[in-house]
């Protein structure tokens, strides 16, 4: 497969910096977006704290880190990606309803982690292939709009970082997961 040459322009914050960034990918990008990583103390080479991200089929590339780029290999094919205050939420492209399909990335040098959810006090991985994210709403509020194809119901979910207590309770989860939203 032939790659793509990407030219990204952005507003100047420092007159000494170029007003664009160039990058060539190995494959056709699925999406291009900007995001902040809460846990990242680095700044982008253009002087801001938001990083341009190139989403490909099985990886994503964070541009502008250390005047270069960081490529993050993903253990799955990407369906959709949303930018939030704490990083990225990535939806896995999969037909297997026993495997988690929603992941988060809070730093470009971390591994992607499955998103755990709580519904009526029960913990579960988001893995129902009939429930999918339709939108990531308001970056500051970190809300996900989910749609259940079977029940034909939309639901609104608040995305937040796991606490130690959440992790402890989630370690007692059993698979397969529940099919409610």
Buried b (16+ CB within 10 A) or exposed e, 147-178: bbeeeeeeeebebeeeeeeeeebbeeeeeebb
**What pLDDT does residue 76 have?**
92
Q: Which pLDDT score, from 0 to 100, does residue 1 have?
A: 38
Largest CA distance in the chain: 55
- Model-wide pTM > 0.85: no
Backbone φ, ψ for residue 117 (5° rounding): -125, 155
Closest of 51, 160, 178 to residue 107, by C-alpha: 51
Q: What residues in the chain have per-residue pLDDT under 70?
A: 1-3, 8, 10-21, 38-49, 65-67, 95, 97, 128-130, 132-141, 170-181
Contacts of 77 (CB under 8 A, 6+ apart): 57, 58, 92, 93, 94
DSSP lists the bridge partners of residue 115 as none
What is the reported pLDDT for 178? 42
DSSP 8-state code for residue 111: P
Complete edge-to-edge strand list for the sheet that includes strand 78-84 = 78-84, 87-92, 102-105, 113-114
């Amino acid at each position: 497969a032939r790659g793509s040459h990407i030219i990204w322009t952005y507003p100047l914050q420092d007159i000494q910096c170029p007003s664009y960034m160039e990058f060539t990918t190995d494959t056709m990008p699925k999406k291009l977006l900007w995001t902040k990583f809460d846990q990242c103390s680095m700044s982008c080479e253009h002087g801001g704290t938001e990083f341009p991200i190139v989403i490909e089929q099985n990886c994503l590339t964070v541009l502008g880190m250390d005047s270069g780029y960081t490529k993050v290999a993903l253990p799955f094919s990407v369906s959709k990606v949303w930018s939030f205050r704490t990083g990225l939420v990535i939806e896995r492209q999969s037909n297997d309803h026993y495997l988690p399909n929603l992941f988060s990335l809070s730093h470009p040098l971390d591994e992607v982690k499955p998103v755990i959810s709580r519904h009526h006090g029960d913990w579960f991985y988001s893995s129902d292939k009939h429930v999918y994210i339709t939108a990531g709403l308001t970056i500051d509020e970190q809300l996900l709009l989910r749609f259940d194809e079977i029940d034909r119901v939309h639901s609104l979910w608040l995305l937040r970082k796991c606490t130690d207590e959440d992790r402890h309770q989630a370690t007692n989860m059993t698979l397969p997961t529940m099919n409610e939203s």
